[in-house]
A and B are shown apart, each in its own frame.
Chain A
């Protein structure tokens, strides 16, 4: 079985038409579905939050069969992820894509669980502490993309679960949980 780093690739990764955007509707839908699953699964296991369309992304080329996805195909697959709510474009020109292998709501729940498990219900933390502090080590929150984290925190703020207060710099941003 072919591997990409420590990631186990499916068999059809060596099927050349998998790398050509199929024009026929039924075939294309199935192809897109398979790409969606693969992209999300790969990003989840490799903890990848952002895919740059103009950068080399290991999943988008297969040196064994000498095939790689065209720019058009990459954008098509990511656009479908975006319309499914599993990704977001970070810029208007669609050069960077944020991959949400957990939706924002799911991330928010993960934060709540993390707070409860660590008994932090009424305490204050900086955003950086959540991303890289001792408490989050070994959890999914460790190393989380800052943009996603802020979106999840804002969602929780709207629900009254916490309050975000801004510091003088971005590093100083903190949260006061009140669960």
Chain B
């Protein structure tokens, strides 16, 4: 970590920074070094991804997803130097310099009222980054002072929601932040603020709506806290009604979305990489509900629904999934022999599925008439299309074999290995062949 000089950034399991409430990503730069000559104990921050948000500058090491990370609150920046246009700067890597106020012991203070000032240099080694655009956004965000309004929200929020942590609608594990309503609202607000001030009066109603929406978001947060505490503290005493409403709430919360979706605009060249990480964070919850494996198409729908207006193309989704191989994320893309692609947990085991399929296929009814994809879907609790993939995989492993007849496509437990080709009339009086024979002859 970055020593005691800068505070560390909390990272999700896929290596994306956990954002503060109402914090939004604005721009990303790759291969950025942070240097400070004024401080001897300044950490070694070489070649990382720098994320500019409305609240902070986040530096995350490039080399590994769980590596070093540091955050500089924009509040602590006292001055941003404009870029020097000299002959030398044409050949060297572009640099952005800004002044930080720090406390006497060398810590970056959040308030921006530190006693010392140090100059930090950002060296951008990455190619193709549009530095001017970044600098403009940097200035805008610094001047925008979004953290001041944000802080006010948090304080008022924690007053109404007694005992809630200040992490707001965000969970520490980095699961989906379900405050898309507020995300959309914020966008609305930004647009609205940039339009002519004279229009403000005409939009009094919108203001009123917004304050109502804020209450709604607060309510959502309250419900969520309740859900979280309920699911951990008393799972045994859960009544049916409460369970039902919980389910409903979770469905509802799931559908309200992602507050700060990664976009091409904000991430630029790092788009797919960042999208990939965000997707990895996102799929955890749907995966859990789907039993560890979920169809790519389903995820596409859920993900885009969560993103609201910032839709991604199927191609982008596929790209993002392919990139998982390069990151240390707990999920993976899997392609079945039939070409169907699914997302599954890395810990997901086919063995368990096979065991359940085998149990199903050796039940008396199944021995007699075989099992269909829908039978397996009911037992495994997955969609029939997915169940069929499992059955086909089990078949390819030799656990099952198929029967195609006018009645349809069914699977039977594989008896072929138990039959002795040198004595076709022999039935060992143990094993599944014998069981099948008893069941089959009893039915006739």
- Residues of chain A at the chain B interface (Cβ within 8 Å): 8, 10-12, 14-17, 19-20, 22-24, 26-27, 30-31, 33-34, 37-38, 41, 64, 66-67
State the 6 A-B residue pairs at the shortest beta-carbon distance, nearest first: A10-B424, A16-B403, A30-B416, A17-B401, A17-B403, A20-B404
Max chain A Cβ within 10 angstroms of own Cβ: one of B401, B402, B415: B401
**Whole-angstrom CA separation of A177 from B17 in the bound complex:** 96
Contact partners of B410 in chain A: CB under 8 A = 16
Q: How many whole Å from A100's CB to the nearest CB in chain B?
A: 19
A19 CB contacts on chain B under 8 angstroms: 403, 405
Is B437 positioned at the interface, with any CB of A under 8 Å from its CB? yes
B141 beta carbon closer than 8 Å to chain A: no
Known: A16-B412, A27-B414. Is A34-B421 also a contact (CB below 8 A)? yes
B421 contacts A30, CB within 8 Å? Answer: yes
Contacts of B419 on A, CB cut-off 8 Å?
10, 12, 30, 34
Q: Given A22-B402, A38-B424, output 4 extra A-B contacts at Cβ < 8 Å.
A: A10-B424, A23-B402, A26-B398, A30-B417
Contacts of B425 in A (CB 8 A): 8, 10-11
Q: CB within 8 A of A15: which of B405, B406, B415, B417? A: B415
- Sort chain B's interface into a size bin: 20 to 34
> Out of A16, A34, A64, A66, which one reaches B416, CB within 8 Å?
A34
Q: Give A41 to B440 CA distance when docked, in angstroms.
A: 25
Closest chain-A Cβ to B371's Cβ sits at a distance in Å of 12
* B416 adjacent to A14 (CB under 8 Å): no
Closest chain A residue, CB of each to CB of B403: A16
Among B370, B398, B433, B440, the residue within 8 A (CB) of A27 is B398
Main secondary structure of the interface of A (DSSP, over half): helix
- Interface residues as binary, B350-372 with A (CB distance below 8 Å gives 1, 0 otherwise): 00000000000000000000100
Decide: A37 and B424 in contact? CB cutoff 8 A.
yes
Can you show 12 pairs from A to B with CB atoms below 8 A apart?
A11-B433, A11-B437, A17-B412, A20-B403, A24-B395, A24-B398, A27-B395, A30-B416, A34-B421, A34-B424, A41-B424, A67-B405
B396 near A: Cβ within 8 Å?
yes
User: Which residues in A have their C-beta under 8 angstroms from that of B370?
Assistant: 16
Q: With a CB–CB cut-off of 8 A, which chain B residues contact A17?
A: 401-403, 412, 414-416
Chain A residue contacts of B427, Cβ below 8 A:
11
Across the interface, which residues of B come within 8 angstroms of A34, CB to CB? 416, 419, 421, 424
Q: Please report the C-alpha to C-alpha distance between residue A22 and residue B405 in the assembled complex, in whole angstroms.
A: 13
Using known A-B contacts A64-B444, A66-B405, determine if residue A27 contacts B421 with beta carbons closer than 8 Å.
Answer: no
User: B424, A15: Cβ atoms under 8 Å?
Assistant: no
Residue of A nearest to B369 (CB): A16
Is there an interface contact between A27 and B444, defined as CB atoms closer than 8 Å? no
Complex Cα gap A88–B444 (Å): 38
B324 contacts the other chain (Cβ, under 8 Å)? Answer: no
- Chain A residues, Cβ within 8 Å of B142: none
**From A8, A10, A12, A17, residue with most partner B Cβ within 10 Å:** A17
- Bound-complex Cα distance A17 to B367 (A): 11
**Which residue on chain A has the smallest CB distance to residue B370?**
A16
Closest to A36 in B: B421
The docked-state distance in angstroms from the alpha carbon of A71 to that of B198 is 82
- What separation, in Å, do the CA atoms of A133 and B425 have in the docked complex? 37
